[in-house]
Amino acid sequence: MIIRQIKNQSPFTTKDGSTIRSILDRSNAPVQNQSLAEASLPAGCATDRHHHMASEEFYFILEGDALMEIEGKTHEVQPGDAILIPPGSRHRITARTKTRFLCCCAPPYDHADTFVE
């Protein structure tokens, strides 16, 4: 059994410009098929539009009001919303207010699988 406390995970910036704290991934557990991280964006900031060829992603909004763009379609998202981002889909999230969300990737997040537009 592996248990990780998010407060003990150091934040880092991904290739898309978001700040994340890895909760469980290949860097801190014997993970094989997925990764889980908390991402945050300050109000008025956005990730770079990007896509992942291999990873399917879920975002789960914890805090804030944001705009989620996937393949050119934009939707308002708020706490409690779960978002599916299929592999290869160009996407970005723009925080209207400070926004925090969980990001689950399968296979696990990998910088090499992040292609910024």
Q: Which residues pair with 21 in a beta bridge?
A: 11, 38
Burial of 95 (0-12, 13-18, 19+ CB in 10 A): buried
Q: Is residue 58 helix, strand or coil? A: strand
Contact 36, 62 (CB under 8 A): no
Q: How far is CA 103 from CA 11, 39, in A?
A: 14, 7
* Distance from chain centroid for Cα 10: 16
Res 14: pLDDT: 87
Res 35: pLDDT: 96
Render each residue's pLDDT in the chain as its tens digit; 117 residues.
Answer: 999 999 899 999 888 888 999 999 998 999 999 999 999 999 999 999 999 999 999 999 999 999 999 999 999 999 999 999 999 999 999 999 999 999 999 999 988 999 998
The DSSP output letter for 20 is E
Res 82: pLDDT: 98
CA–CA gap between residue 52 and residue 40 (Å, rounded)? 19
Assess if CATH 2.60.120.10 describes domain 15-87+101-116.
yes
User: Where along the chain do its domains lie?
Assistant: 15-87+101-116
Res 95: pLDDT: 98
End-to-end Cα separation, the chain, in angstroms? 39
